[in-house]
Amino acid sequence: MKGTKLRSTLARSASWLVFSTVFGSATIAHAQDTVQDEQAQPGNSEAAADDTIVVTGIRASLDRSIELKRNNAGVVDGISAEEIGKFPDTNLAESLQRITGVSIDRVNGEGSRVTVRGFGPGFNLVTLNGRTLPTASIASVGQDQNGDFVSGTTRSFDFANLASEGVSRLEVYKTGRASIPGGGIGAAINIVTRRPLDGAAGLSGSIGAKAVYDAADTYDYSRVTPEVSGIVNWSNDAGTFGVGLFGSYQLRHNSAIAVSANDWNILPYSQFLGSTTFRRADGSTIINNAPQSGDTLIGIPNDTRYNYSEFERERINGQLTAQFAPTDRFTATADVTYYRNAAEEKRADQTTWYNRPFDEISFDGNYKVATAVYIDDVITAPKDGGFEQQYRATKDELMSYGLNLEYEVTDSLTTIVDGHYSKAEAQPNNPLGHTSTLFSMAQKSIVDQGLNIENGFPQQFITFDDSNGNNNGVLDLADLGSQIARSQTAYQEQDVKEVRLDNIWEMGDDDRVMFGGNYREADMNSRTMSTQNTLGDWGVGNIGDIEEMAGDLVQTFCMVCQFRDYDTGVSEGDPLATAFRGDATDLFNAFVNSPIINGTSNNTVREKIWALYAQVDLNTELMERPVNVLAGVRYENTKSRSITLQGIPASIDWTADNDFLTVLSSGEQPVEGSNSYDHILPSIDVSVDITDNFKGRVSLSRTISRPDFGSLFAASNPGAPNRPTALGGVPGGTQGNPQLIPLESDNFDVSFEWYFAPSSYLSAGFFDKRVRNFVGTGQTTQSLFDLRDPSSGAPGTRSGAALEYLQTNNLDISDVNLFTLTALIDQFGLDAAVDQFQANLTPGGLSQTFVDSVLGQYDLVANEGDPLYQFQTQQPVNSEDAHIYGMEIAGQHFFGESGFGIAAAYTLVRGDIGYDITAPTTADQFALLGLSDTVNLSAIYEKYGLSARLTYNWRDTFLSNNSRGASRNPVFVNAYEQIDLNVSYDITDAISVSFEAINLTGSNYETFARTKNQPWFIVDSRPRYYAGARFRF
């Protein structure tokens, strides 16, 4: 990992120095009790038509954020636009991460979803101008191996869908409030857009353009792409009518090189020693650095694969807003909002799938979970090395129509009615109408293969013999054959109809009562369909058919040459220096005439929610100091209904050594479930101005968050085992639970804020959340749909006879041997099968040529003699309580009139829940996803028309998944840091130019399983750069 450790050490050392400077210098230089009067700050300004000076720029944006924080009840933070059409960051999520308690998830280098105070994206409510947004997303593009066969079930909002230029400010409400809809235990995040009557009369706006350059090379796309945005506001001189229009078009091209793994097998070392699945039956397997205890868990990979991806992302946003205010007492606002975010990924894999048992294996010595860091596997005859091609593409769209009526009924009573209809869709978008098209092809020339992770990065190695290909000693197109063609098509749609009534009664002396209610209907539908067609099969039965049928569709290139920060150990002339890439949809078309459907799903969840609330905002004094109390209660009633059209599986066939195929019957049956619940949600926020510039706050509230849609489905889904059940394979299964109820949290917050100088403050806060009804996983072992298991090894079955023969004759009991002999028994009977098996048995094991022939010719379908599959079925249940607590520290300071400033934020989050990496794979584990500490630091300069900000962001390691694969492994995201630079210069009052560098040092993205020596996904990332200009009028 060349340069990574040095870069990390320097960046973090510098960052902590800046963080210390914020607090040290600010405290020494400003130990006074009185804040001086605010003055116009250095930076940009624009003169409104009424000669009011509107301060713009970085400092002005930060000042508005301070004002939002200081003047609000409870714990509220925000980010404001620097000027019309210019937000502080190119991405809204990137801006949010500078707020204490907020951290972000990145996809393909861009901020996507947010975690607040340890609660992941699904636990946070996102609204647009106070309206509940529908959500729809298919998490496929930019993901690891799990990105191909996904469905849309999310409640979380993807901030990558919105262009930042159209946003006026972001508001983050971290404490509960009666007037805010339920749904955000972590926070409620409100996205506020501009309204035409908010500004000066006449015509105003801005138009901007940028050129985006990604530092990663691409083959199919241009490296420089455009971004264009414009925002125009007009209102008449009387201020009675105004129209605002925003539009943006943003295109991005980039590439990424990565390494990934399908699964990690976790088992006790005693099980490894007690079977011949992983070690030779004759005891010849060399075991290095073996665990001392048989109870120690060990980890062995199924495979490793290098991945090269090229991406295109096209984002279009638009909003039209009209306002009519014929009198001072009435304002009507109508708006239409649209976004479309289309993303695609063309990906090529270079794969080594490890045969078992091994000739040599070395462990890393970890006493908790010992990982195989070196594997060598000598093969008796050439086997396959894969080059799967994938084409992933999705399109997210939202259309929202809204109307807001505000009427000042009397001098003391204002009534606001707001309604909207919004629809979000996430759709497949590749040329074949799939979310993901997968075309597997391979060479069949490997006689020795292995893996070395001793230096922390998976290095594959092979010995090449292309006697099965064109026998020229070089890996080329003629050596390739087809295997399997698959596809996944996924949709998610959500409609929201919502109406809201708010009343504000002014009682005098800045006291007020607010009361009202809202009604919301939400319909969410998620559908999937998958196909699988066998071509040359996994054994590569048709070598040469790629060149014959699609030779012009496949190109040769060096995949491992794309890595920069990681050493693959591959030198020039190594066969691993040759890889292949092609458009998976073109290859699919060339080989598949009639796709065979092997799975469907159709799930709908309908929710009807109505709510009433009342809250009082009182201003009083305590010991002659101002005190504000905001207290209220909210009542919510929810009725939900889940409907599933259940596809009925006819069988799960055993098609190869560790491959199974689900075969569907022609029928579907509806399954339904319903639920009803209500909540009373009280809240109180008390703030005290202890001095004129020192404020204390205390908040108590109860908040809720509804379960992910996928947990509410009524379906039962059997899953195929990852290997024969006779050898430890476990068929999984899932069932939804429409009876789930929301999580409920009792929250306590206390914080102190010191506003010691203009544009400067220090704050520290503590939060505590006691959460009930967390959704855990209940597991039962049961049969489903009377599906029978051809791989059980049960006495009296075909696989049982094969297993008995292998055991009796002290032969390797591997997936390959068991399938091959079972298939022969099925076709020819025991005696003839044994004769063929023995005839092809060599001292090193079965002839690979013979194995591939059997794999290609035969599939095993269960018969009446086979036992029923016993599925380990997982179902979500409300079973867990948790205690989450933490601390937030933030500060900001500008050094007089020098133009220099610094800002810092640190969040510490702790909880009594976590993942135990030493627990057996059968254990049900509950852990909160997204829990992590964060640090955000900024160095700022703004004077003489020049604005510059250098930002450092760090997020500690966190858990993103607690049950992946057959071994129910965790997925940890490794600690990540990123440095960004933003510089702009005002050439005139109307024209400015800018330069931005994102991920300036090229920090990499890494995920792992139980230890860091078990990588899931490692992305060798690159910086990207923006150069732009903006015209204001």
- When pLDDT is averaged across residues 712-716 and rounded to a whole number, the result is 91
Regarding whether 118 and 255 lie in a shared domain, the answer is: yes
- When pLDDT is averaged across residues 835-857 and rounded to a whole number, the result is 88
The whole-chain average pLDDT of the chain stands at: 91
Spatial contact of 890 and 908, defined as CB atoms under 8 Å apart: no
Regarding whether 951 and 806 lie in a shared domain, the answer is: no
Helices H / strands E in the chain, number of each: 10, 49
Q: What was the pLDDT predicted at 200?
A: 87
Q: What was the pLDDT predicted at 668?
A: 80
Tell me what percent of the residues of the chain surpass a pLDDT of 90: 76
The CA distances from residue 1025 to 33, 226, 255, 942, 1031, in Å, are 44, 12, 14, 21, 20
3-state secondary structure labels for all residues of 971-1016: EEECCEEEEEEEEEEECCCCEEEEEEEECCCCCCEEEECCCCCCEE
Question: In 3-state terms, what secondary structure has residue 664?
Answer: strand
Regarding whether 721 and 831 lie in a shared domain, the answer is: no
**CA torsion through residues 544, 546, 547, 548, sign:** positive
Q: What was the pLDDT predicted at 76?
A: 93
Residue 205 lies in a domain: yes
Spatial contact of 902 and 893, defined as CB atoms under 8 Å apart: yes
Residue 866 lies in a domain: no
Regarding whether 79 and 110 lie in a shared domain, the answer is: yes
Return the DSSP state at 278: S
Residue of higher predicted confidence among 879 and 229:
229
Q: What was the pLDDT predicted at 22?
A: 36
Residue 578 lies in a domain: no
Spatial contact of 848 and 535, defined as CB atoms under 8 Å apart: no
Q: Please say if the pLDDT value at position 54 is more than 60.
A: no
Regarding whether 813 and 703 lie in a shared domain, the answer is: no
Question: Which region, left, alpha or beta, applies to residue 909 given φ > 0 means left and ψ of -120 to 50 means alpha?
Answer: beta
How many CA atoms are closer than 13 Å to the CA of 294, on its beta-carbon side?
Answer: 5
Q: Please say if the pLDDT value at position 751 is more than 80.
A: yes
Residue 293 lies in a domain: no
Q: What was the pLDDT predicted at 356?
A: 80
**Degrees (nearest 5) of the Cα angle 388, 602, 150?**
30
Residue 229, both tokens: 């945005």
Q: Of 813, 832, 857, which residue sits at a domain end?
A: 857
Q: Please say if the pLDDT value at position 26 is more than 50.
A: no
Q: Of 802, 823, 857, which residue sits at a domain end?
A: 857
> Which of 687, 709, 705 lies closest to 747 in space, CA to CA?
705
- CA atoms of 340 and 395, how far apart (whole Å): 7
- When pLDDT is averaged across residues 606-612 and rounded to a whole number, the result is 98
CATH code assigned at 972: 2.40.170.20
Q: What are the tens digits of pLDDT across the range 523-536? A: 999 999 999 999 99
Regarding whether 799 and 771 lie in a shared domain, the answer is: no
Q: Please say if the pLDDT value at position 48 is more than 70.
A: no
The strand ranges marked E within 70-146 are 76-80, 102-107, 110-116, 125-128, 131-132
Residue 247 lies in a domain: yes
Residue 959, both tokens: 């858990």
Q: Please say if the pLDDT value at position 521 is more than 50.
A: yes
- CA atoms of 788 and 282, how far apart (whole Å): 33
Strand order in the sheet with 188-193: 76-80, 167-173, 188-193, 125-128, 131-132
Q: What was the pLDDT predicted at 975?
A: 97
3-state secondary structure labels for all residues of 665-677: EEEEEEEEEEEEE
Q: Please say if the pLDDT value at position 39 is more than 60.
A: no
Spatial contact of 519 and 419, defined as CB atoms under 8 Å apart: no
Residue 452 lies in a domain: no
Tell me what percent of the residues of the chain surpass a pLDDT of 70: 95
- When pLDDT is averaged across residues 889-904 and rounded to a whole number, the result is 95
Question: Which region, left, alpha or beta, applies to residue 202 given φ > 0 means left and ψ of -120 to 50 means alpha?
Answer: left
Return the DSSP state at 577: G
Q: Please say if the pLDDT value at position 11 is more than 70.
A: no
Whole-model pTM: value is: 0.86
Regarding whether 839 and 725 lie in a shared domain, the answer is: no
Residue 949 lies in a domain: yes
- CA atoms of 137 and 121, how far apart (whole Å): 12
* φ and ψ at residue 852, rounded to 5 degrees: -65, -35
Q: Please say if the pLDDT value at position 130 is more than 50.
A: yes
| Residues spanned by the domain of 845 | 790-857
- At position 950, the amino acid (one-letter code) is L
Q: What was the pLDDT predicted at 380?
A: 77
Q: What was the pLDDT predicted at 13?
A: 40
- CA atoms of 899 and 877, how far apart (whole Å): 55
Burial of 137 (0-12, 13-18, 19+ CB in 10 A): buried
Residue 813 lies in a domain: yes
Give residue 56's pLDDT band: very low, low, confident or very high (50, 70, 90).
low
Regarding whether 944 and 837 lie in a shared domain, the answer is: no
3-state secondary structure labels for all residues of 693-759: CEEEEEEEEEEEECCCHHHHCCCEEECCCCCCHHHCCCCEEEECCCCCCCEEEEEEEEEEEEEEECC
Regarding whether 777 and 794 lie in a shared domain, the answer is: no
* φ and ψ at residue 97, rounded to 5 degrees: -70, -15
Q: Of 801, 834, 857, which residue sits at a domain end?
A: 857
Residue 585, both tokens: 């949809």
Residue of higher predicted confidence among 24 and 991:
991
Regarding whether 703 and 835 lie in a shared domain, the answer is: no
* φ and ψ at residue 1024, rounded to 5 degrees: -135, 155
Residue 143, both tokens: 């993901």
Residue 946, both tokens: 């020049």
Q: Please say if the pLDDT value at position 501 is more than 70.
A: yes
Q: What are the tens digits of pLDDT across the range 464-486? A: 998 878 889 899 999 999 999 99
How many structural domains does the chain have?
2
Residue of higher predicted confidence among 263 and 15:
263
Strand partners, 436: 392, 488
Q: What was the pLDDT predicted at 31?
A: 36
Regarding whether 1008 and 983 lie in a shared domain, the answer is: yes
Q: What are the tens digits of pLDDT across the range 83-115? A: 777 787 878 888 888 899 999 999 999 999 999
Q: What was the pLDDT predicted at 7?
A: 41
- Dump the DSSP string for 230-276: EEEEEE-TTSSEEEEEEEEEEEEEEEEEEEE-S-EEEEEHHHHHH-S
Regarding whether 314 and 185 lie in a shared domain, the answer is: yes
Q: What was the pLDDT predicted at 18?
A: 36
Question: In 3-state terms, what secondary structure has residue 371?
Answer: strand
